[in-house]
C-alpha cells in the first residue's frame, strides 16, 4: 500500500478508494498534531510514523488512528494504535487518553476530510 502525506483536503471518495486497496473498510493514519498533517494508507501505523519522522516530525507529536470512511460521527475515527503507547507522556494504552490530544487529532482529520 502506498502511503500518502495529507497536507490539504482529500475527497471522501479517495479515502474510500485507499481503504478498498488495503483493509477494505478501514484506513490507518498517523496525525502530527504539531505540524497539522497526517499520513494515511500504510499497512502499519509504524510505516506511516516512519515517513512522518523522516520528513521532520517529532515522535511525541504523532498519534495513530483508524478511519472508517463508510461510517459517520463518532464511528468515523478510532483512536487505537500501538504507536500511541507513550508512558513518558502519560499515555499507557493503545488509545489516546488525553481528551485535548483527541480533540486536536479530530480537528486535523476533519479539516482535511469532509464526511
- Placement of cell 500504510 in the chain: 42
Mean pLDDT for the chain?
95
The residue range of the domain holding 19 is 4-112
User: Cα–Cα distance between 53 and 56 in angstroms, integer?
Assistant: 5
Domain count for the chain, please give it: 1
What digits encode the pLDDT tens for the residues 50-93? 999 999 999 999 999 999 999 999 999 999 999 999 999 999 99
Structure confidence at residue 115 (pLDDT): 65
Q: For the whole model, what pTM was predicted?
A: 0.95
Structure confidence at residue 114 (pLDDT): 76
CA atoms within 13 A on the CB side of 93: 6
Which of 7, 8, 6 is closest to 18 using CA atoms?
6
Amino acid at each position: 500500500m502506498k502511503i500518502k502525506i495529507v497536507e490539504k483536503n482529500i475527497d471522501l471518495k479517495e479515502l474510500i478508494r485507499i481503504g478498498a486497496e488495503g483493509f477494505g473498510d478501514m484506513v490507518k493514519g498517523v496525525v502530527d498534531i504539531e505540524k497539522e498533517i497526517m499520513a494515511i494508507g500504510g499497512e502499519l501505523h509504524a510505516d506511516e510514523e516512519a515517513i512522518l519522522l523522516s520528513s521532520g516530525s517529532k515522535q511525541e507529536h504523532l498519534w495513530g488512528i483508524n478511519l472508517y470512511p463508510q461510517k459517520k460521527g463518532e464511528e468515523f475515527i478510532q483512536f487505537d494504535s500501538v504507536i500511541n503507547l507513550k508512558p513518558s507522556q502519560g499515555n499507557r494504552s493503545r488509545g489516546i487518553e488525553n481528551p485535548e490530544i483527541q480533540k486536536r487529532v479530530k480537528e486535523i482529520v476533519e479539516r482535511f476530510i469532509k464526511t
